[in-house]
Amino acid sequence: TQTHDRSMDRVLILGLLAGLAAASTGTDDKCVCHMNIAPDRSRHHGLVDAAATRLLAVRVDSMEVRMNEGSKKLEKLSGSFDTLSGHHDKGEKMIKKLEARLSHLEGSDCPEGHFQCGGLNKQCITNLLVCDKHKDCANGADEDSHRCHPPAGTGSVWEAHLHGDEGCTQRRVTKIRLVITKETTLDFVPALTRVKASAIITHSEDGQHSTQIFNVDGVFRPALLEVEFFPPEDKESRNSRLLAEDDQIGIKCTFDGVDNSHCNGTFTHGHGSCGHFTFSHVEH
């Protein structure tokens, strides 16, 4: 009858509203979503299906909202972890730099031309055995990959700015740029790596700035963590009189074994070395 039909519609609507309220309050897991519908009322099956579909859609939407909120919280926690991890890495790097400086100040008990393996036994081996692809130190320190790989790789660019008179150049050098063009490891002396580079040197004299470009040869010595470029040998470079007393400039740069993006540089020539400056790796 019409009255019975209206009552059935009210039941359906009330059931749907109850389901929506449960979903919106986040307590859908406690919702009892049973509706007793007479099976012989086929005319109401369409309404029941629609109500059930809507109820399911609301529950799915609610679940997606919670999952999105959970995902955001997880991303925030992950970011916090990465931040803490980054601080840890920086702290560990600083400790290693301080240890390297302390080791340099204390010096080595090994004779000149020898490498100290470190550790408690203070084992010493000749520099030529360092990074020769055979472990000679008991702790394997002589074949450490961080030490054996040349920091100044082929194609890398290094630059130093000199802010004061270093006292050993006839012309005041203001900037040095080194472009590494080739590296070669010698089969008969694997502990040494030959390095070729283009040196672009900017200097000033009597207020005039000029730039010279030299092709230089050098060597990387992993035992000392240093790369040295020898004075240019071509005639034009020898006549440039960059250094006083007709000496030619050479450059030596020493890494600390921790930060491979910087090295401490100095000029070298026939009378020793002079000047101090810092080379930095140039990103390009």
Higher pLDDT, 257 or 43: 257
Q: Which residues of 203-222 are buried (b: 16+ CB within 10 A; e: fewer)?
A: beeeeeeeebebebebebbb
Predicted confidence (pLDDT) per residue in 170-192, tens digit: 667 889 999 999 999 888 888 89
Architecture of the structural domain at 104-148? Irregular (4.10)
Mean of pLDDT values over 152-173? 79
The closest of 43, 26, 27, 44 to 35, measured between CA atoms, is 44
How confident is the model at residue 102, as a pLDDT?
Answer: 57
Mean pLDDT (the chain) is: 73
- Name which of 97-101, 122-126, 140-144 the model is least confident about: 97-101
Confidence of residue 214 (pLDDT cuts 50, 70, 90): confident
Instruction: Compute the residue count for the chain.
Output: 284
**Residue type, position 174, single letter:** T
Which of 24-33, 76-85, 133-142, 219-228 is the least confident region?
A: 24-33
Position 268 confidence tier, pLDDT thresholds 50, 70, 90: confident
pLDDT at 33: 46
Q: To the nearest 10°, the Cα dihedral for 84, 86, 90, 96?
A: 90
Dihedral sign computed on CA atoms, order 35, 38, 40, 43 = negative
Domain 150-282: state its class: mainly beta
For the chain, domain boundaries: 1-20+43-63, 104-148, 150-282
Give pLDDT tens digits for 50-62. Answer: 665 666 565 556 6
Cβ contact 136:127 at 8 Å: no
pLDDT of residue 152: 77
Residue bearing the bigger pLDDT, 232 or 93? 232
